[in-house]
Structure 1
Amino acid sequence: MLTITEYEAEKIKDPFRILQGTRYEFKLDIEVPDDDELYTENGLYVRVIYKVDEDQSAIVKYEIYEKTTGQYLDFELEDDEVELLENFCRDHLDEVDE
Structure 2
Amino acid sequence: MVEISAYSAEQVKDPFGIIAGKRYEFFLDLEVDEDDELYSDRGLAARVVYGVGEDRSGIVKYELLERSTEKYLDYELEADELEAIEAFCREHLPE
Short-chain TM bin: over 0.9
**CA drift at 1:41:** 0.5
Return 5+ residue gaps in structure 2 as ranges.
Answer: none
In the alignment, which residue of structure 2 is the partner of 1:76?
76
User: Structure 2 CA distance, aligned partners of 1:47 and 1:64?
Assistant: 6
> TM-score w.r.t. structure 2 length?
0.93
**CA drift at 1:16:** 4.9
What amino acid is aligned across from residue 51 of structure 1 in structure 2?
G
**CA drift at 1:52:** 0.3
In the alignment, which residue of structure 2 is the partner of 1:10?
10
My pick for the range that moved more, 49-58 or 21-30, is 49-58
| Cα distance per residue 1:42-93 (max 9 Å; x no partner) | 1010000000001421100100000000000000000000000000000011
Q: How does 1:40-79 map to 2 (within 5 A)?
A: 40-79=40-79
Number of aligned residue pairs: 95
In the alignment, which residue of structure 2 is the partner of 1:85?
85
Q: Over aligned residues, Cα RMSD in angstroms?
A: 1.3
Return 5+ residue gaps in structure 1 as ranges.
Answer: none
Runs ≥4 residues deviating over 2 A: 14-19
> TM-score w.r.t. structure 1 length?
0.91
